[in-house]
Structure 1
Amino acid sequence: MHSPIPGAHRQVPSPADIDAGLAAELAPVVAGARRRALRDGDRQVDTAHLLHSLMESDPEVRAAFESGPQVARVLGYLVQRSIGYGLRWQGSVEDSGAVPLLGQPGWSPGVRSAMECARRRAFERDGAQVTGRDLLAALAADPRCRAVEVLRHAGVDAAALADRLSESSRQA
């Protein structure tokens, strides 16, 4: 399968590598995604866990959506998933095809790929740390990840969201 993220097959970051280089405000996002996966009984933190945590804790991420109702629909799907309704992935491993499944336990291949892409975005922007908007853009850019499935179910055009975030990043 071809990766939507250039260079994603080069290296597989470990969980410690994922934490390194994140802006301080993303530490609670990562911790929240880990707690959510553990509470849900999932073997790995996937992109939907990460999206849920981002949406709950980062106002800039919520502001990236076209409307308040869009944000509410996305959060609605994520909450349904966390209580066992709606999209059913519990107990399975997310494999967006972006990174080989041989990686470190704890992070799905989609999360590892998204983190690498978000790091690349931050570096290209200004060499700064990864922000929530970088991570949201990376999630939205991978059409095979669970976060995009949630966005689609909520009526969000993930590709358009990724393009909007990329454009605003270039203008910043």
Structure 2
Amino acid sequence: MYSHHGPGLDLNHLADDAHLTVEVHSVVASARRRATRDGDRQVDTAHLLHSLLENDPRAYAACDAGGGQSARMLGYLVQRSIGYGLRWHGSVEDSGELPTVGEGAAPGWSPSAAAAMRAAVVLARRGGRLRADGVDLLHALAADPQCRAMDVFRAAGIDVGTFGDGAASHRDDSGYRDDGPVAS
């Protein structure tokens, strides 16, 4: 879905990356812990989605559509993390045929998860923001129809088209856009 071109994110050192908000840093750290705890060799898009829903209230609200859908998605994700529910056999992120991005003791990144992280930064830039937030990451996950996160959206009956315009979701009622601190 996404090309390998885009922002120069160092996926092995995202904790220091200035392209991401504090919330996304938390999501990344949580997704890495989740993958390690689950015994997975790579962080995939389902790990990112699970961590995103747990750590970013705005992303949770953006995909909920007022119908408890986010809670249903979390249920699928929790079942997956304890070995029940959705099975990923044969999916691209689990095939073992594609290399992970990154090396070392920490899990690497599935190609789809790495692409989603880069796409989130691109979405933020298109919206005139310096850093990608959780809603950008949510939109990036929803844009890849072949990733595990989309399997979760489909299983939970989530219409990703209801997420709305990414740039509009970053504005509050006053029209103010929270882009974080401005460099001087």
Global fold match (TM > 0.5): yes
Q: Shift in Å at residue 13 of structure 1?
A: 4.8
| Counterpart Cα distance in 1 of 2:80 and 2:34 | 11
C-alpha deviations, 1:51-109, integer Å up to 9, x for none? 0000011110111021241011100000000000011238x87179xxx7463241110
Matches within 5 A, 1:1-172: 3=1, 5=2, 8-10=3-5, 13-16=9-12, 18-19=14-15, 20=17, 21-65=19-63, 66-89=65-88, 94=93, 101=99, 103-105=101-103, 106-158=108-160, 160-161=161-162, 164-166=164-166, 168=168
4+ long deviations beyond 3 Å: 11-14, 16-19, 100-103, 169-172
Indicate the percent of aligned positions where both proteins have the same amino acid. Answer: 52
CA distance 1:34–1:168, change in 2 (3 Å): same
CA distance 1:117–1:17, change in 2 (3 Å): farther
| Counterpart Cα distance in 1 of 2:28 and 2:123 | 18
The residue identity in structure 1 corresponding to 2:11 is P
Structure 1 vs Structure 2 CA RMSD:
2.6
TM-score (norm 2): 0.77
Structure 1 spans left out of the alignment, 5+ residues = none
Structure 2 spans left out of the alignment, 5+ residues = 172-176, 178-184
SS at match of 1:29: helix
TM-score (norm 1): 0.82
